[in-house]
Amino acid sequence: MDIPNPIPAKPTRFLDQLRAFIRARGLAYRTEQTYLFWTKRYIRFHQRRHPRTMGSAEVEAFLNHLVVQRNVALATQRVALNALVFLYREFMAMPLEELHFEGARKPARLPTVFSPDEAKRVIDKLEGVPKLIAILLYGSGLRISEALRLRIKDVDFDMQQLVVRGGKGGKDRITLLPDRLLEPLHQQIAVATHQHQADLAAGYGAVYLPTALARKYPHAEKETGWQYLFPAKDLSVDPRSGIRRRHHVLDRTVQKRFREAIRAAGIRKLASSHTFRHSFATRLLEAGYDLRTIQKLLGHTDLRTTEIYTHVVRKGGFGVRSPVDATL
């Protein structure tokens, strides 16, 4: 899912041209997917009219539709707005006039958080690689996509840290490597290394690298350090080049195991893999770590995003003790 779709060397279709422009700007693939998604929705909303025949009025109508008919959250409306501003101002060089539209007022939901016991119960229901990934999410605050994209060289045992590359927004960051994971990760690296050596012996062993890195380090694709920490069970064909490679384990495979474990643990909350990341932040806040530190570990651009965890620390209601507990 994180390998960009192939596009012609000289694209003629509008959306392919937009893809090529985004890649030339060096934006993250997730950003590319998001901008293409909202551009397509915008075009379809206006009966497939070409964006060059439209402008501010049509953008306003679409943004109002998202709020009035689709009832989207404020963050969703902002993402759509950013995508369309990029489309017109950056790609088509047709800056939009001042926009007037109905702003979304749907309040953001508080994040779902596991209690320490719930997190342990879910993890205990997992086995093998999914269990190790769950501990990574809970112990280091990773998003599942960040955990799956870890390379062997991103695990720094000497500094006891993980290097997260190309996270949300295309940013790199450093987060902690828990003591609990030192030995399991040594074992996982040994497994990944053994698999890589077997692939090399079979005439394969070249891992996917983003285009810029592949050009800068032409031999890195076969080096052990660049291999995925959690390699897929089988080889697959790179849709862009046709090269048979070993990618990382699939997101949907791990997510399925997580859903099964959450049900088996008897968790009735609306939980997912991301709940481990929310729980990581909440535990750190409960332990007294400052918001700036937690912000850096999570990779949040805006401190206000991190502040939401102050509302979900244990003993809800901002940590206030209820008078009924003191008197009855």
3-state secondary structure of 244: strand
Q: Exposure of 47 by Cβ count < 10 A (0-12 exposed, 13-18 middle, 19+ buried)?
A: exposed
Please, what CATH class does the domain formed by 14-91 belong to?
mainly alpha
What residues have CB less than 8 Å from 26, skipping those under 6 apart?
170, 212
Q: How far apart are CA 122 and CA 124, in angstroms?
A: 5
pLDDT of residue 94: 95
Please give the average per-residue pLDDT across 237-257, as a whole number.
Answer: 88
176 beta partners: 161
Q: How far apart are CA 191 and CA 52, in angstroms?
A: 53
From residue 327, how far is each of 118, 321, 322, 323, 324 by CA, in Å? 29, 11, 9, 6, 5
Q: How far apart are CA 136 and CA 312, in angstroms?
A: 21
Does residue 196 carry a pLDDT above 60? yes
pLDDT of residue 223: 96
pLDDT of residue 145: 92
pTM: 0.76
- Residue 179 carries which DSSP code? G
For CA atoms 199, 202, 203, 204, give the dihedral sign: negative
Please give the average per-residue pLDDT across 66-93, as a whole number.
Answer: 92
- Residue 180 near residue 140, CB atoms below 8 Å: no
Domain chopping of the chain, boundaries = 14-91, 109-316
3-state secondary structure of 27: coil
Q: State residue 280 phi and psi, 5-degree precision.
A: -55, -50
What are the tens digits of pLDDT across the range 153-186? 999 999 999 999 877 767 899 999 999 999 999 9
3-state secondary structure of 107: coil
Does residue 36 carry a pLDDT above 60? yes
Q: State residue 316 phi and psi, 5-degree precision.
A: -55, 175
pLDDT of residue 313: 77
- Residue 49 near residue 43, CB atoms below 8 Å: yes
pLDDT of residue 6: 74
| Residue 296 in tokens | 């850096």
- Residue 171 near residue 302, CB atoms below 8 Å: no
Kindly report the CA angle at 261 between 182 and 161, in degrees rounded to 5? 20
Kindly report the CA angle at 24 between 20 and 28, in degrees rounded to 5? 90
109-316 fold:
hpI Integrase; Chain A (1.10.443)
Q: Which residues are tagged catalytic?
A: 143, 168, 274, 277, 300, 309
- Residue 190 near residue 181, CB atoms below 8 Å: no
Q: How far apart are CA 308 and CA 110, in angstroms?
A: 7
**Type and span of the H or E element at 274:** helix 274-286
Kindly report the CA angle at 306 between 137 and 261, in degrees rounded to 5? 30
Q: How far apart are CA 239 and CA 197, in angstroms?
A: 24
Instruction: Using pLDDT thresholds of 50, 70 and 90, give the confidence band for residue 29.
Output: confident
What are the tens digits of pLDDT across the range 110-149? 889 999 999 999 999 999 999 999 999 999 999 999 999 9
